[in-house]
Structure 1
């Protein structure tokens, strides 16, 4: 029987920023996107990060306040600017990012109160970007000493990652989420087969990872739990943009876990939320849980 986790609070760590998209400037950053969508699903989530003492930092704080996403754990620095990212979207809706360095979230400092929060939390969500600079990297590893269920949304953005650091983070991971391109990059760097059914069991054995989610764009997604594999096609919707779709997918999956759902239901919830978000501009469109549930109820049955 699969291990079920009664999650009560989720802490997300890493980048908060402004995405400059063809549709305009949108608040973003993978861990903040996850925290936002968890919050929209009615889950207690908060964000640990850092913004600059500047106009863009104030606007991010205002955005989080408007979206009822707690900002009390955001640090403010007058030494570095608030993060900005230039997003380029191709004709097939693939997104590439120009990520400025260094910025405020590269310098997230450890606070003793984090230890208590992490011990009480049921999940800790983090990515690889926040490990690109020594200050935030050291804080991340310190936080991993106290967290008990670690969700690694790997989010590889060249050249902002290092294989040795990735391997250290993977050894601390319980649930790994990555896309096909990231899976191929890991396979290449580890000198292993890119075949999903070979590389995923290898990762699980090598790093003692319990669950792995692989998102595949138009080909759907799969979840590996031990020797079991669950697959899920996408819901066909009219896509506005795919920015943050993977983040909403992860939030939808964790929301299912919070409700004690089985793997197939968690994947369905994740796919539905990702589809819903891609119908809107930006990674964090305004919506209510009721609006999403109404959308989900109207979705057609998709054969697995």
Structure 2
């Protein structure tokens, strides 16, 4: 079913940081990646985060502005340094992360200005990593109470996997995205045996009474499940440069397309395309235009 176009911003909460590669550093952090690609797709992404009052923080805020994302909700602290992640790419082009702690985005303080921002937004996007520290966790839970629509990208990052917190966030969410291994992990926490992918997805969707559940499976495609439909889409074949940020761009593709009034199936196709497009580039937030993305889509069919 098509919806009306929604021009309100989609607000991301959580980590903004530098991914440190062997070749140099690139801006990252899953919530920021989502905001970046939402803006690239013609919708409005905003970011709530925190950086240190240091050279890396000033540089990050400069990159945020370059991406046409407001820095009004990005705090600056003297107490902690700007976040960094050591990102290593293995022989299969898969990324492995060493995430420094504590850093600035662990200490996102509550601000009253967030009330108006969230009340005038269409959704709040958050992950599990952004609540590894009690300060940011408390701020996130306040935001969740205000947000009109809650989008949880589970995004488990060892060793920062806290079962009770993640299950609580699932209970408060409307739309959830997770990958296949996260699906199995959540099912295990619930004490449910894995018998098939479809039954596992439907069980979690029903257990948490989610508006929608998306499960990404890399080269094996993606699934969308709500109370009415179960939709599977094949992946797009593409040369993989690296997988950094591919799941974040997938979610941004889905949300930005839905904001434009698209059906779930149309939004899932956009998500699959954008995820593939970004794996064909290096880093989570490469520079690109809508025209380049549309050209990429032209010669590729999704099954």
**Range class of TM-score, shorter chain:** over 0.9
CA distance in 1, matches of 2:57, 2:267: 34
CA distance in 1, matches of 2:38, 2:149: 16
Could you say which residue in structure 2 is the equivalent of 1:175?
A: 175
Task: Give a deviation string over 1:209-264, Cα, whole Å, max 9, x none.
Answer: 11001000110111011141111111111111110000000000111101211122
For the pair 1:199 / 2:200, whether they are aligned, the reply is yes
Are the counterparts in 2 of residues 5 and 257 from structure 1 also a CA contact under 8 Å?
no
Could you say which residue in structure 2 is the equivalent of 1:40?
A: 40
Could you say which residue in structure 2 is the equivalent of 1:69?
A: 69
What is the aligned residue count? 301
TM-score by length of 2: 0.95
CA distance in 2, matches of 1:5, 1:149: 16
Are the counterparts in 2 of residues 252 and 273 from structure 1 also a CA contact under 8 Å?
yes
Which residues of structure 1 form unaligned runs of 5+? none
CA distance in 1, matches of 2:166, 2:62: 33
CA distance in 2, matches of 1:207, 1:4: 24
- Secondary structure in structure 2 of the residue aligned to 1:84: strand
Deviation of the 1:146 alpha carbon: 0.5
RMSD of aligned Cα (Å) = 1.4
CA distance in 2, matches of 1:137, 1:3: 35
CA distance in 1, matches of 2:23, 2:186: 32
- The list of structure 1 runs, each at least 4 consecutive aligned residues, that deviate by more than 6 angstroms after superposition, is none
Deviation of the 1:161 alpha carbon: 2.4
Deviation of the 1:7 alpha carbon: 3.2
Could you say which residue in structure 2 is the equivalent of 1:231?
A: 232
Task: Give a deviation string over 1:8-46, Cα, whole Å, max 9, x none.
Answer: 210000000000123321100000000000000111111
Could you say which residue in structure 2 is the equivalent of 1:13?
A: 13
Alignment of 1:66-215 (within 5 A): 66-194=66-194, 195-215=196-216
Could you say which residue in structure 2 is the equivalent of 1:286?
A: 287
Could you say which residue in structure 1 is the equivalent of 2:264?
A: 263
Deviation of the 1:62 alpha carbon: 0.9
- Secondary structure in structure 2 of the residue aligned to 1:32: helix
CA distance in 2, matches of 1:14, 1:104: 10
- Secondary structure in structure 1 of the residue aligned to 2:302: coil
Task: Give a deviation string over 1:87-125, Cα, whole Å, max 9, x none.
Answer: 122222222211111110000001011111111100110
Are the counterparts in 1 of residues 2 and 262 from structure 2 also a CA contact under 8 Å?
no
Which residues of structure 2 form unaligned runs of 5+? none
CA distance in 1, matches of 2:200, 2:161: 20
